[in-house]
């Protein structure tokens, strides 16, 4: 295994500013909103009254992935996440494939979140509003990670307050029926639970945003292993309460049929006046997730560009704001192109497929850690194996169209890798990883 160059603080490095609280906020901002306001509907359609079982399964797979991500991020505290881990533990091809899957899957996630924002704010002008929100997020991220954390902290507070109001409206609105937790729903069987878990995994994928920002975290060997499980645990608890309240309020069939399931659940009861609050909270949540997603995408692009797997111009760090500004702008341009044609529910399945592949590589890389390296793991090795198996099973259980689309994108990535590898062999170049 290649030795790691010493860490530097020169003009081509990012600055360490984020503590545990900041890292947890980044993780919460990445997760809170996407699942509750977007993925609950299709997940209820798959699992029916077993929606909570799908949520628990998604959380279990996410926990295993979080353990692997935290252990690897403590050993390799640089930007890039699994792109870096895969290269250093499994080989250059697997790192590239993970980075490719991450970029493609999260571009779809960004577009989905921008469109969710537009749909809630102005349904008749969803795409123009989505583009405006994307522009605002790009400016916030461009001005520096400190501003990203500050904005995300505000968003997290607003979303938690809105979700609390939604739970009150659903439970006290007079329509709660315990039979909705056990009655037949539109989904059925173990396959439905697996598919629901795969769709709900879309909501948990943000926990590793902390790892992709690893080069900007203070004392990453301690901060990342603490922040990742903490953020995941908070979100799982919030999601469980909200999903249970929504099921009690209107049942799985109504959730599956609605484009705005929480608003539907609140509006069906005596406290329907809270529905505009929920819709506003959905818009804020989507904006917050978009903010953090774009930050993570730009950091992975930065790492891949530094290793010549993307145009090297993207590896430039802004001299004043200390962010990969060209990568930020490139990501924004690609998201703008995707959101002009994306379908929200299809984007969720497509994104989940590719993100599960990404985390499968994460777990495979964590499996290779030796005991001397894995001292930061704080979890048994078998957990990485369970995470790998869970990712592959959930990915295979997603809707066929999403799996086929994800497979096609991965195939394109393999072709790009083959071209790049051939070019390097011909030129004698090998590329270098960002310093760790």
Angle at 25 between CA 133 and CA 310, to 5 degrees: 60
> At residue 372, what are phi and psi to the nearest 5 degrees?
-70, -30
> What number of other Cβ atoms are within 10 A of residue 393's Cβ?
15
User: Ramachandran region of residue 97, left (φ > 0), alpha (ψ -120 to 50) or beta?
Assistant: alpha
Query: Is CATH 1.20.1740.10 the right assignment for the domain spanning 20-421?
Result: yes
Integer angstrom CA distances of residue 159 from 101, 327, 393: 29, 28, 31
Q: How many residues does the chain have?
A: 436
Digit-by-digit pLDDT tens for the chain (436 residues) are 433 433 444 444 555 667 777 778 777 776 776 667 878 888 988 998 899 999 999 999 998 998 888 788 778 877 667 888 999 999 999 999 998 998 899 888 888 888 888 877 777 788 899 899 999 888 887 776 555 566 667 777 888 899 999 999 888 876 767 777 765 555 568 899 999 999 999 888 766 666 656 566 677 667 777 787 788 888 889 999 999 999 888 888 888 888 778 888 888 888 888 888 988 888 888 887 787 778 878 877 887 787 777 788 887 887 777 778 888 888 889 889 888 877 778 888 899 999 999 999 999 999 998 765 545 445 688 999 999 999 999 999 999 999 999 999 999 999 989 887 777 666 555 444 433 3
pLDDT at 430: 46
- The Cα 418–Cα 411 span in angstroms is 11
* Contact criterion met (CB below 8 Å) for 45 and 199: no
Q: Name the maximum alpha-carbon separation found in the chain.
A: 71
pLDDT at 1: 40
- The Cα 116–Cα 259 span in angstroms is 10
> At residue 18, what are phi and psi to the nearest 5 degrees?
-95, 125
What pTM does this model have?
0.79
pLDDT at 344: 76
Q: Coil, strand, or helix at residue 18?
A: strand
pLDDT at 5: 39
pLDDT at 34: 60
Show the tokens assigned to 426: 């011909």
pLDDT at 2: 39
Show the tokens assigned to 249: 């309020």
């Amino acid at each position: 295994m290649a030795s790691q160059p010493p860490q530097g603080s020169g003009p081509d490095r990012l600055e360490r500013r984020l503590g545990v609280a900041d890292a947890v906020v980044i993780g919460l901002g990445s997760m809170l909103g996407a699942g509750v306001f977007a993925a609950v509907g299709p997940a209820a359609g798959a699992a029916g009254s077993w929606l909570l079982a799908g949520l628990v399964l998604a959380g279990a797979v996410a926990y295993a992935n979080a353990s692997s991500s935290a252990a690897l991020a403590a050993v390799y505290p640089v930007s890039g996440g699994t792109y870096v881990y895969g290269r250093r533990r499994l080989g250059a091809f697997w790192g590239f494939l993970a980075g490719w899957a991450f970029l493609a899957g999260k571009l779809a996630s960004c577009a989905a979140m921008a469109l969710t924002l537009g749909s809630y704010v102005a349904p008749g002008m969803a795409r123009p509003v989505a583009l405006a929100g994307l522009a605002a997020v790009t400016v916030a991220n461009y001005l520096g990670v400190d501003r990203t954390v500050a904005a995300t902290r505000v968003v997290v507070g607003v979303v938690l307050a809105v979700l609390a109001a939604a739970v009150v409206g659903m439970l006290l609105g007079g329509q709660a029926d315990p039979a909705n937790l056990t009655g037949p729903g539109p989904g059925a069987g173990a396959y439905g639970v697996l598919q629901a878990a795969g769709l709900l995994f879309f909501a948990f994928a943000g926990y590793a945003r902390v790892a992709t920002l690893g080069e900007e975290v203070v004392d990453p060997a301690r901060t990342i292993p603490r922040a990742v499980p903490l953020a995941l645990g908070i979100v799982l608890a919030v999601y469980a309460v909200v999903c249970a309240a929504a099921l009690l309020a209107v049942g799985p069939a109504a959730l599956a049929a609605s484009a705005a399931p929480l608003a539907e659940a609140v509006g069906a009861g005596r406290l329907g006046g809270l529905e505009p609050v929920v819709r506003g909270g959905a818009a804020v949540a989507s904006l917050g997730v978009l903010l953090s997603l774009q930050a993570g995408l730009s950091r992975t692009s930065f790492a891949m560009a530094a290793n010549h797997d993307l145009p090297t111009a993207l590896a430039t760090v802004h001299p004043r704001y200390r962010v990969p500004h060209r990568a930020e702008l490139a990501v924004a341009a690609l998201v703008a192109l995707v959101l002009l044609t994306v379908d929200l529910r299809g984007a969720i399945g497509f994104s989940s497929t590719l993100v599960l592949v990404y985390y499968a590589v994460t777990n495979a890389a964590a499996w290779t850690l030796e005991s001397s390296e894995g001292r930061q793991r704080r979890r048994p090795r078998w957990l990485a194996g369970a995470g790998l198996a869970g990712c592959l099973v959930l990915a295979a259980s997603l809707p066929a169209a999403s799996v086929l689309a994800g497979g096609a994108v991965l195939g394109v990535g393999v072709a790009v890798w083959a071209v790049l590898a051939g070019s390097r062999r011909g030129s004698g170049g090998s590329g270098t990883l960002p310093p760790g």
